[in-house]
Chains A and B, each alone.
Chain A
Amino acid sequence: MSDVPPPAPRGGITVLPAGPDAVLLEVAGLGQVLALAALVRAAVEGGEAPWEAVTDVVPAARTVLLATREGTDLTALAAAARALAPALAPTLAPALDTKARSHPDSVRLEGGSGVVDSPRTAGKSHEVGVGSGLHEVGSGTGGHEVEIGVRYDGADLDEVARHTGLTPAEVVLAHTGMPWRVAFGGFVPGFGYLIGGDPRLHVPRRGSPRASVPAGSVALAGEFTGVYPRASPGGWQLIGTTDAVLWDPDRVPPALLTPGSTVRFVDVAATLEPGTLP
């Protein structure tokens, strides 16, 4: 085994082992992850071998995990995954490359045995050059569109304005002015890492995380925006709040934001006529 890290795959798919019932597909960056995840989901929904054995498709910053039923022939699945590479190539654009880095200070939950990522840490993880171009990647891949009404009353709105050089009103216009896309989920049920919005909104996470961020908080970190589905610790910059229900186990699907879907934020205050506020 080489002692030197191999270069990141370019236009190809590296299939990595992930135990008896999974393979991990690695690509060059987040743009390719979105495209690959869309191809894989379509194949799984198609229901043909070997894709019918896939139970979970988990996109992340540079990888897509395929988890399967027990006893699945992973060799056949790896071959089928590699065969998707040509379909992936057209989406490879320099603007979509990721120089993704890790989350070295990931938080520990539940007595410390689980080391997981959270918005406390993920915000500084990726530098993805995604502007409006990202919106086109994966378009027509079945993701739905979601509109989320927001009261832009977040505790960090002024701080975000200082970081970006915008006024608070301009931050709101930037956040609502361009559609976002759900890149991947994680952290807690219903949380989505949204990318592809206005690049002027890239801000660092807070210097010290809050012990509890209220449910429905709309926040920024790195090139991501996200909505906290429930009260949880968090280090993202809070710009607003929403009444949207991000997670409802009795709903189908339970998550409002699923990977691949498009999200438009709407300023609730701007839609009210003057004088209607209490």
Chain B
Amino acid sequence: MTPALEVLATGPLVLIEDEGRPGHAAVGVGPSGAADRSAYRLGARLVGHGDGRAALEVLLGGLSVRAHGRVTVALTGAPSPATVDGRPVGHASLVEVADGSVLTLGMPSAGVRTYLTVRGGIAVDPVLGSRSTDTLSGVGPAPVRAGDVLALGDPGATFPEVDHVAHPSHRPVGADPHSPTVLEVLPGPRAAWVGGWGGGLGGLLTSVWQVAGQSDRIGLRLSGSRVERARAWRDAELPSEGLVRGAVQLPPGGEPVLFLADHPVTGGYPVVAVLTASAVDRAAQLRPGDPVRVIPAP
């Protein structure tokens, strides 16, 4: 019997994601891939299979799956209280699930995206070299639904080397829930439009922001203050140009947009800063209302 996961229930959204599909931006398809890449990669390392295999990106818990065959799994990213047949199992740990047993993920206590990595990977057909769902372009597998039976791949000849890692949460356990998440940025191509680095990027670096409600895998909007353009650029207009994951774009209203995995390939507003790779991963775990500070990367 080919090992598989039978999906019994999902929460708000469960997507299949991997490292993504770079190389197609010129024809309108962005790289997509796991929104919190470090959590996704930690899962792949824990279960001991090679790079690039697909995992499940679970938004706000609610997933319940039955193992067909004995499977090895790991949960990383947002810490969901998880059980196997009602018995609690650890986060960022190797978990063996016996044939017929049911793994259930509850609502995460922090963050929003939990990665369920299954040894061997989710073996749906790749599209343009990736099994990732791109919610903007519509390329990739459909969202996972109750009733789906997800076949698993051959795990290959590498094996798990550790049973558990300290889980690098974006918000350490015990931290003040009201203290802002800190996101590090590098200068963007249009940093001068907001006065440049020396000018605090027009207030981007000096304000405390809140994550706005309209936030998803494409990006999240920060509210609570305004980034001001430098005088010389107040009325300047920008022809559209290529965008990257982590781009901090400044629309006319002055509330910045942080682009995540499913960002559009081009945009017509100035990109004043770009998040570091680890800051993008932390941003992908933010909830609406979370306080955020943006600082220069060291």
Interface residues of A (CB under 8 A from B): 1-5, 16-22, 24, 26, 55-65, 67, 70, 98, 100-104, 106, 109-117, 121-122, 125-126, 184-192, 247, 249, 253-255, 257-259
Closest 7 CB pairs of A and B: A65-B242, A19-B274, A102-B237, A61-B239, A58-B242, A1-B196, A103-B268
Among B24, B262, B263, B276, find the residue whose CB has the most chain A CB atoms closer than 10 A: B24
- What are 7 inter-chain pairs, A to B, with CB distance below 8 A? A1-B191, A22-B242, A24-B241, A61-B240, A103-B239, A116-B266, A125-B268
Would A65 and B139 count as touching, CB distance under 8 A? no
A110 near B136: Cβ-Cβ < 8 Å: yes
Do the beta carbons of A117 and B264 come within 8 Å of each other?
Answer: yes
Min distance, Cβ A128 to any Cβ of chain B, angstroms: 11
Total A-B pairs in contact (CB under 8 Å)? 210
B1 at interface (Cβ–Cβ under 8 A)? no
Contact B263 A1 (CB under 8 A): no
A144 to chain B, nearest CB (A): 13
Contact with A along B211-254 (1 / 0, CB 8 A): 00011101111000000001111001111111110110101100
Given contacts A20-B276, A24-B241, contact A113 B257 (CB under 8 A): yes
B259 touching A254, Cβ below 8 Å:
no
- Chain A: which residue is nearest B137 at the CB level? A189
B12 within 8 A of A: no
CA separation between A239 and B290, bound complex, in Å? 48
- When the two chains form their complex, are residues B137 and A62 in contact, meaning their CB atoms are under 8 A apart? no
Please, how many angstroms separate the alpha-carbon atoms of A21 and B31 in the complex? Answer: 13
Instruction: Report B138-192 residues with CB < 8 Å from chain A CB.
Output: 138-139, 186-192
Given contacts A24-B189, A24-B242, contact A189 B29 (CB under 8 A): yes
List chain B positions with a Cβ less than 8 A from chain A: 22-29, 31, 127-128, 135-139, 186-192, 195-199, 214-216, 218-221, 230-233, 236-244, 246-247, 249, 251-252, 257, 259, 262-269, 271, 274-277
Is A110 within 8 A of B242, CB to CB?
Answer: no
A62 contacts across to B, CB distance below 8 A: 239, 241
Instruction: List 11 other contacts, CB 8 Å, given A4-B232, A17-B191, A113-B218.
Output: A1-B195, A5-B236, A18-B242, A19-B246, A24-B189, A55-B31, A65-B243, A101-B239, A188-B137, A189-B27, A258-B27
Complex alpha-carbon distance, A17 and B233, angstroms: 18
Check if B251 sits within 8 Å of A59, measured CB to CB: no
- With A2-B192, A18-B244, A21-B277 as known contacts, state yes or no: A56 contacts B257, CB within 8 Å: no
Q: Which residue of A lies closest to B247 (CB)?
A: A19
A114 touches B237 (CB 8 A): no
